[in-house]
Structure 1
Amino acid sequence: MCQDCGPPSRRSFARFLAAGTGLTVLTACTPEAPKAGTPSSAVPPASTSPSASPTAARATVAARPAPSPTKAAAGKPSRFSLTDPTSPWLIVNKHRPLAPADFAPADLVRPAVATTASGEAALLNSTTAAAAEAMFAAAAADGVALVLASGYRSFAAQTATYNSHVAARGQADADTASARPGYSEHQTGWAFDIADGGGACGFQPCFADQPTAVWVKANGHRFGFVVRYPWMFHPITGYYYEPWHLRYVGVEAASDMLQKGVHTLEEYFGAGAAPGYA
């Protein structure tokens, strides 16, 4: 979700999309807020394997009412949790908050990649950081400059950001511009936003046509990444297209999604759509 997209460009994006859909805009734009929070949880070895087999995790969430399985998710035995924030298959959306809400990864590190972010926003969990380093290096070898624009965002930072939106425009409108605290993928360390070396179309719809976004969309799966909020899948993900927002799920899961033509984690793991807060 975007770190620093200013109100004019985001509102333009919202008007552009809403004009054709008649839907309320549900963006994930959450500018970086002051640093806060201390990591407190560890990532189990099983959840940090980039090449873990993409077997569905439905049996690990028995406490939650299970939705009807999708074709992509059916028939897969359980491997990773969809609710444990240390799991690469964690699903965070407007129906599925983090538990605990103030979760912070214990293994946050600063990846050795080009970045415009500073402080906590330049951090990722160790598994995502290693995969990002490999992906950025491969892109550079192909002549494509990837830049880390926004990584980890603590619960405190997300709270400050969200509350500033509520104070400025009311909660209903704030929910179209900022993820609520405890509902942001950035808090997990599994997700980050990218930009290109020249900063072209940063956090704008036109970024999808930049060489950086084109390369990542075609090659991200090789390193375990998916574009988390794809074009025209906002009724499922709850967020409009963000070609800059990448999410680590592991090489085999990301590759399996591509092979099967499944675009969202909600569909792949049969977790159900989350267009708005439950």
Structure 2
Amino acid sequence: MCHNCSAVLGAAESVPVSAAPSRRAVARLLAAGAGLTALAACTPDGGTRPPSSSSPSATSASASQAATPSSAGSTSAGPETSAAATEPGTAAAPAPSAAPTPTSPAAGLAQQHSLTDPASPWLVVNKHRPLSPADYVPADLIQPNIALAVSGESAQLNSTTAAAAEQMFATAAGDGVTMTLASGYRSYGTQVATYNSYVASRGQAEADTASARPGFSEHQTGWAFDIGDGGGACGFQPCFAEQPAAVWAKANAHRFGFVVRYPWMFHQITGYYYESWHLRYIGVEAATDMAAKGIATLEEYFGLEAAPGYL
């Protein structure tokens, strides 16, 4: 995710596979708007985020918004045009639970973890599922030994995520791809200040399209972080999906326990538009299982309801 990544990007409805023609239309619009700036919630210096599906302008703007990044995690971008017609877009299933339901795709894994404990790698945080406690602070925050584009708390991750990130960054470097940590942990206090500044300047309705509400941010858990490309191009912008770091991560991150948390064309399930830079640790077994089964979102994988907007 971005500097303000756990933020909300508008909600939307899942797009069925049968809607492939309209996705190609979106792809053409995306190509025309590839230069759109990233959402404010996801960029350290601010920007403009598309309105959520709950906002009055969401219906008319839905096609162009699908091409812009979100503050929840990663961003939708041009390189996804060829995949847009084939990515699964099934509707979410049962209601949230503390553990995978028997019918969820994750139920067969050897190791099971809580979906509500902030210290669990399977924690699911979205617009329907706030952190508990809201001011949760990971007990094991550390600075990983990787290339950093930030400092302070943003350069930290929990120890498990940090170790996996070190392995992933090193393997990517061996393949000739340089990654940087662009945004890591974000405290509750930081999110309060960020969100309130948006409310003061834009009003709450618009703030909810640009910044995550305090206590609803994946960045606060220590399990998620944003990557940058070594070349520095397209940081927190739709075009980042075309950069070597994003391309490599999309193809290989599951080998180290990571998923692209907010994939292309699934904003109506996750509540956030495609953020190619936002990675989330869930463990190698689960991430590899998701990749093998072609399941794009944690909501679908763990059998949870879609969370396009706040309740």
Considering the TM-score relative to the shorter chain, is it more than 0.5? yes
Compute the displacement of 1:19 (Å): 4.7
Compute the displacement of 1:28 (Å): 1.5
| CA spacing shift, 1:235–1:69, aligned 2, 3 Å | farther
Matched residue, 1:42? none
| CA spacing shift, 1:270–1:29, aligned 2, 3 Å | closer
Contact 1:237 1:266 survives alignment (8 Å): yes
Matched residue, 2:18? none
| CA spacing shift, 1:95–1:113, aligned 2, 3 Å | same
Matched residue, 1:34? none
Per-residue CA distance 1:191-226 (angstroms, 9 max, x = gap): 000001121010001101111100000000010000
Matched residue, 2:71? 28
* Cα distance between partner residues in 2 of 1:200 and 1:19: 26
Contact 1:60 1:78 survives alignment (8 Å): no
Q: TM-score, normalised by structure 2?
A: 0.72
* Cα distance between partner residues in 1 of 2:62 and 2:112: 42
**Superposition RMSD in Å:** 2.9
Task: Give the structure, 1 or 2, with the largest relative contact order (CA under 8 Å, sep 6 or more).
Answer: 2
Where 1:149 maps in the other structure, the secondary structure is: strand
Contact 1:5 1:29 survives alignment (8 Å): no
Matched residue, 2:281? 248
| CA spacing shift, 1:179–1:9, aligned 2, 3 Å | closer
Per-residue CA distance 1:116-144 (angstroms, 9 max, x = gap): 11100000000000000000000000000
Where 1:165 maps in the other structure, the secondary structure is: helix
Compute the displacement of 1:272 (Å): 1.1
Contact 2:69 2:274 survives alignment (8 Å): no
* Cα distance between partner residues in 1 of 2:219 and 2:296: 20
* Cα distance between partner residues in 1 of 2:180 and 2:283: 21
Matches within 5 A, 1:23-102: 27-28=70-71, 61=98, 69-70=103-104, 72-73=105-106, 79-102=112-135
Unaligned runs of 5+ in 1: 31-57
Q: Does 1:226 align with 2:259?
A: yes
Matched residue, 1:164? 197
* Cα distance between partner residues in 2 of 1:6 and 1:187: 19
Contact 1:147 1:195 survives alignment (8 Å): yes
Matched residue, 1:2? 2
* Cα distance between partner residues in 2 of 1:238 and 1:59: 15
* Cα distance between partner residues in 2 of 1:9 and 1:60: 34
Contact 2:49 2:69 survives alignment (8 Å): no
| CA spacing shift, 1:75–1:27, aligned 2, 3 Å | same
Q: Name the aligned partner's letter for residue 152 of structure 1.
A: Y
| CA spacing shift, 1:147–1:272, aligned 2, 3 Å | same
Q: Name the aligned partner's letter for residue 2 of structure 1.
A: C
Compute the displacement of 1:27 (Å): 3.0
Q: TM-score, normalised by structure 1?
A: 0.81
Compute the displacement of 1:18 (Å): 2.9
* Cα distance between partner residues in 2 of 1:89 and 1:248: 8
Matched residue, 2:188? 155
* Cα distance between partner residues in 2 of 1:162 and 1:184: 11
Which of 139, 164, 171 is 1:131 aligned to?
164
Where 1:192 maps in the other structure, the secondary structure is: strand
| CA spacing shift, 1:154–1:59, aligned 2, 3 Å | closer
* Cα distance between partner residues in 2 of 1:92 and 1:184: 7
Matched residue, 2:215? 182
Q: Name the aligned partner's letter for residue 133 of structure 1.
A: E
* Cα distance between partner residues in 2 of 1:246 and 1:105: 18
* Cα distance between partner residues in 1 of 2:193 and 2:96: 36
Per-residue CA distance 1:62-108 (angstroms, 9 max, x = gap): 7xxx98945x2465687200000000000000000000000000100
Unaligned runs of 5+ in 2: 4-42, 74-94
Contact 1:73 1:267 survives alignment (8 Å): no
Where 2:210 maps in the other structure, the secondary structure is: coil
Matched residue, 1:112? 145
Where 2:161 maps in the other structure, the secondary structure is: helix
Contact 1:9 1:204 survives alignment (8 Å): no
Matched residue, 1:49? none
